[in-house]
Structure 1
Amino acid sequence: MASQRFQDMLGRNEKFVETYTMPPTLQQIKDNAPPGRGTMAIISCSDPRVCPEEFLGIKRGEALVIRNAGGRAVEAIRSLEVMGTIGAIQLIVVIHHTDCGGLFTCDDEVRRKLGERAPEHKHLIENKNFGTFQEIGIRQSILDDVEVIKNWKFLPEYTEVKGFAYTIEDGKLTELV
């Protein structure tokens, strides 16, 4: 049961707390950042098999990691807007992955299944974009998301944007943009 699995995680948290050290505060990070050096943001999928902290070896405080279904830029913009007002973001990296659920469904299928689950609320999703990319594939979804970010009205002029594909089968990252 999921509830029991979460109880197990809570037990792991108790062990984690035993050796926990608080990270620097946001103010400390801002005060101690070398001149001209901001942070980076990684946008990736919420798939539990895909952990940027793991496959990029990200240390605590080293990068913002924004995760959502499919790793879609449109969903990440709100987080970039908020975090970008706290500190400079110099690099934004979009990472989509092989064997992603976004490749195995389409927006119409998501609408149909949600409509079956709650028919009385079907009108709330009839025009909603769910960001699936079965029709366009992983390469095009990355290219599209990099463009979304490059066209974002609040993108700082000094911020670089890159796009990568993560191959879940072998753990490799391939730069596309």
Structure 2
Amino acid sequence: MDDFSDLMAANRAFADDFALGGFDGVAHAGVAIVTCMDSRIDPLRMLGLQHGDAKIFRNPGGRVTSAALEALVLGVHLLGVERVLVVPHTRCAMAANTEAELRVKVGESAGLDASWQQFHVIADQVAALEEDVRKVRSHPLIPDTVKVGGFLYHVDTGLLEQKL
């Protein structure tokens, strides 16, 4: 239990003056964001959004995976999503390493053979972004009325660059 005591104490302090309850789970700004798990990305603040405004799906590299598509379909049909932003970022480890390099790094850290683990590295971020935007736009359960854009987030400036 002590492993998490600092976080639990912080949560108690957070809950003491919690004012974010009562939301209905709908994306009030009609926005969904698929982005990387990188801690340098603050998805809501980078777009001027607040708690309850958007649905956010994060994974290594910010890729549109089958799980991300599942979330987007639910968001569009049940949670008010009208616009989707796919947002990878600069200086991403998934784009800066090869599959082999990540397997070696993880294997050394784990002290185990990691040669079997897939990491889905990104050889070309723009090409991957084009593929991901195409996946969302062509999904049969995501109507053409949903606007889909591809962006690159610059971690050193905080700026978004629209690519698609």
Q: TM-score, normalised by structure 2?
A: 0.81
Determine whether 1:158 maps to 2:145. yes
> In the aligned structure 2, how far is the partner of 1:67 from the partner of 1:94?
10
> In the aligned structure 1, how far is the partner of 2:73 from the partner of 2:32?
11
Identity of aligned residues (%): 25
Determine whether 1:131 maps to 2:120. yes
What SS class does the counterpart of residue 171 from structure 1 fall into? coil
The structure with the largest helix share of the pair is: 1
- Is contact 1:23–1:60 with CA below 8 Å preserved after alignment? no
Shift of 1:119: 5.4
RMSD across aligned C-alpha pairs, in angstroms? 2.8
Determine whether 1:23 maps to 2:12. no
AA paired with 1:131? H
Partner of 1:61: 52
5+ residue gaps, structure 1: none
- Is contact 1:23–1:61 with CA below 8 Å preserved after alignment? no
Among 118, 123, 128, the alignment partner of 1:141 is: 128
Task: Choose 94-103 or 77-86, whichever is displaced more.
Answer: 77-86
Shift in CA distance, 115/8, structure 1 to aligned 2, threshold 3 Å: closer
What SS class does the counterpart of residue 88 from structure 2 fall into? strand
Partner of 1:88: 80
Shift in CA distance, 106/15, structure 1 to aligned 2, threshold 3 Å: same
- Output one character per residue of 1:2-36: Cα deviation in whole Å (capped at 9) or x when no partner: 93xx432221111111111313224xx59xx7xxx
> In the aligned structure 2, how far is the partner of 1:52 from the partner of 1:8?
25
- Is contact 2:106–2:114 with CA below 8 Å preserved after alignment? no
Q: TM-score, normalised by structure 1?
A: 0.75
- Is contact 1:43–1:72 with CA below 8 Å preserved after alignment? yes
Among 83, 98, 103, the alignment partner of 2:90 is: 98
> In the aligned structure 2, how far is the partner of 1:85 from the partner of 1:7?
39
Shift of 1:167: 0.7
What SS class does the counterpart of residue 161 from structure 2 fall into? strand
- Is contact 2:76–2:82 with CA below 8 Å preserved after alignment? no
Determine whether 1:52 maps to 2:10. no
Shift in CA distance, 119/100, structure 1 to aligned 2, threshold 3 Å: closer
How many residues matched? 159
Shift of 1:66: 1.0
- Is contact 2:83–2:146 with CA below 8 Å preserved after alignment? yes
> In the aligned structure 1, how far is the partner of 2:114 from the partner of 2:91?
33
Shift in CA distance, 142/71, structure 1 to aligned 2, threshold 3 Å: same
1:111-130 pair list within 5 angstroms? 122=116, 125=117, 130=119
AA paired with 2:121? T
What SS class does the counterpart of residue 162 from structure 1 fall into? strand
